[in-house]
Amino acid sequence: MSTSIPDNQLGLSQSEVQLLRQHQQIALSQQGSSSSRAASHASSQGRLLLDPSSLQALSAHFDRLMGSIQQRWHYLNQQTQTATTLQSTRAGAAIHNADAEIARFRALLREIDELQVEFDKVRRIGEIVKGFRARVQHLERRF
């Protein structure tokens, strides 16, 4: 004989009761027992089947479900660690490349500054030369 209990005495919300019924049907159908029909019948009357066989099937089903959830969690955790490591590596490479480009840019700026100094020197020398030339031309005109 099947033992059942009114589902409103379980202290569960309606959605939790629906979920429990759904998993009980899955567990009992996987077991292939006649308890599956009894569970459907009890469910149609607002009751939940609680005999030892259905509880054992439900327990085994939830154990498998928890194992599946743990495996999925483990897989997702590994994928997260892999993605984090990859992003960290990429970020490190990007920082290294940025540092190299900054150093290159600074070297270019130093060269530009050096060339500017050289340019200023050449301009001053050019002005001095123009001054000498003007003096020489002035002296040539005097003689």
Rounded to whole angstroms, the Cα distance separating 12 from 56 reads 20
Express each pLDDT in 90-127 by its tens digit.
999 999 999 999 999 999 999 999 999 999 999 999 99
CA 79 to chain centre: 9
How far apart are alpha carbons 18 and 8 in whole angstroms?
11
Torsion angle (degrees, nearest 10) of CA 59, 64, 66, 68 = -170
17 burial (CB, 10 Å; 0-12 / 13-18 / 19+) is: middle
pLDDT of residue 54: 80
Residues 12-32: tens digit of each pLDDT? 888 988 888 888 888 878 776
3-class secondary structure, 49: strand
28-74 confidence digits (pLDDT tens)? 787 766 666 777 777 777 777 777 888 888 888 999 999 999 999 99
Q: Which residues contact 60 (CB under 8 A, 6 or more apart)?
A: 27
Cβ-based neighbours of 58, under 8 Å, separated by 6 or more:
23, 24, 27, 28
Rounded to an integer, what distance in angstroms lies between the CA atom of residue 94 and that of residue 88? 10
Q: What is the pLDDT of residue 1?
A: 47
For the beta carbon of residue 7, count every other beta carbon within 10 angstroms: 19
